[in-house]
Amino acid sequence: MMRFAGFFSLMVWFQVAGLGDLCAQVTDPIHESFTFAFLTDIHLQPERRAPVGFQMAIEKVNELNPDFVISGGDQVYDVMRGNQERADSLFRLYAEMSKGFNMPVYNTVGNHDLFAIYPESPEDELHPDYKYGMYQRYLGDTYYSFDHKGWHFIVLNSLGTTGDGRYTAVVDSVQLAWLKENLERVSRQTPVVVVTHIPLVTARGIVTGNPAGHHVTNSSEVLAALEGHNLKLVLQGHIHWKEYGEVNDRFRYLTGGSIAGNGWKGRRHDTKEGFVLLRVEGEEFTWEYIDHGWEAERLRFNAVE
Ligand SMILES: [Fe+2]
């Protein structure tokens, strides 16, 4: 009772002093700590010993024991051009293998997960699994949000298709409306993480001299929707590129390398195959790129083959 009376006095003091906002911060801090893993571009396929490499990543994640896993897209390689039998077998393989994680897995849709969108595929838009259909059947919604220990996670679908059978990097208007509505229910103090397969922000085009297709074309609209919110981090995949940046005092972005490297044949962009472990402490986070041992195993196997 005394403690309650003391708290009440403190509240009155803050209000008298005109420090209502400060009071809200004082009474509602986030003290939780947790870890989560971000694995992206797994490109699972039965060939090139990919299941061996993915299993090594699963075992490393289980050893680190984060609260949950986020997969950043391109879970399988690939279903854009394929027939139903092959595409089903790839998603089945991923769905089965990912049960090996000892914690929940949140998936993100990637371009290689879009069924039959290329003209080379024997199927077309009349097929019920076309585009997002097969992904949804195996892995669920292509965009959604969830909360964990005071943080709000938003997983976006950064993919559309063109009339001539190619994918585009865009967050469409229906999803943008959903995003704004979703954020209306989130306090402006709540730390937010956005996950997207195709980067919202990247220097890749500048570094390589090839700006085409490496970022979401309407990134500015997505970031405008998040303005005024406590956006901490944008987690990204697609370009198999390891990159970390800070945009003013506003947010940071992290492109998480890849599990598959260059199609399981070696490094891509001289970045070792791996994943990211994030540690959250209150409102702050740190990250570390984890080598799950696939490069050493790949080189060892190639040497004895
Ligand atoms: Fe990829």
Which residues surround the ion ligand 1 when the cut-off is CB under 5 Å?
41, 74
Q: Which of 94-103, 190-199, 207-216 has the lowest mean pLDDT?
A: 207-216
Q: Separation of 199 CA from ligand 1 center, angstroms?
A: 12
CA-to-CA distance for 104 and 114, rounded, in angstroms?
23
pLDDT: which is higher, 23 or 226: 226
Q: Separation of 179 CA from ligand 1 center, angstroms?
A: 24
Q: Separation of 21 CA from ligand 1 center, angstroms?
A: 44
Whose CA is closest to 39, among 106, 96, 93, 124? Answer: 106
pLDDT in tens, 60-102: 999 999 999 999 999 999 999 989 999 999 999 999 999 999 9
Give percent of the chain above pLDDT 70.
90
Q: CA 60, 75, 251, 203: dihedral to nearest 10 degrees?
A: 110
Q: How far, in whole angstroms, is CA 265 from its chain's centroid? A: 23
Q: Separation of 238 CA from ligand 1 center, angstroms?
A: 4
142 has pLDDT over 60:
yes
Q: Separation of 228 CA from ligand 1 center, angstroms?
A: 31
CA-to-CA distance for 115 and 165, rounded, in angstroms?
11
Mean pLDDT of the chain: 91
Mean pLDDT of 102-124: 96
Q: Separation of 239 CA from ligand 1 center, angstroms?
A: 6
The predicted structure's pLDDT at residue 304: 80
Q: Is 75 exposed, middle or buried (0-12, 13-18, 19+ CB in 10 A)?
A: buried
Q: Separation of 17 CA from ligand 1 center, angstroms?
A: 55
191 three-class SS: strand
Structure tokens at 30: 């986030």
Q: Separation of 269 CA from ligand 1 center, angstroms?
A: 13
Residue with tokens 């006095």: 9
The predicted structure's pLDDT at residue 305: 67
Q: Separation of 43 CA from ligand 1 center, angstroms?
A: 7
How many CA atoms, within 13 angstroms, populate the side-chain half-sphere of residue 105?
23
136 has pLDDT over 80:
yes
Strand order in the sheet with 275-281: 105-107, 68-71, 33-39, 275-281, 284-290
Q: Separation of 281 CA from ligand 1 center, angstroms?
A: 30
Whether this prediction's pTM lies above 0.85 is answered by: yes
The predicted structure's pLDDT at residue 242: 97
CA-to-CA distance for 161 and 183, rounded, in angstroms?
26
Q: Separation of 10 CA from ligand 1 center, angstroms?
A: 53
Q: Separation of 31 CA from ligand 1 center, angstroms?
A: 35
Mean pLDDT of 198-220: 91
The predicted structure's pLDDT at residue 297: 92
pLDDT in tens, 215-263: 999 999 999 999 999 999 999 999 999 999 999 999 999 999 999 999 9
The predicted structure's pLDDT at residue 2: 37
pLDDT in tens, 274-291: 999 999 999 999 999 999
56 has pLDDT over 60:
yes
15 has pLDDT over 80:
no
CA-to-CA distance for 194 and 171, rounded, in angstroms?
13
pLDDT: which is higher, 247 or 16: 247
Max distance between CA atoms of the chain, in angstroms, equals 77
CA-to-CA distance for 142 and 233, rounded, in angstroms?
20
* Beta strand pairing call for 242-247 and 230-236: unpaired
Q: Separation of 169 CA from ligand 1 center, angstroms?
A: 13
Q: Separation of 75 CA from ligand 1 center, angstroms?
A: 8
Q: How confident is the model at residue 303 (pLDDT cuts 50, 70, 90)?
A: confident
Structure tokens at 202: 């990247």
Q: How confident is the model at residue 211 (pLDDT cuts 50, 70, 90)?
A: confident
The predicted structure's pLDDT at residue 16: 38
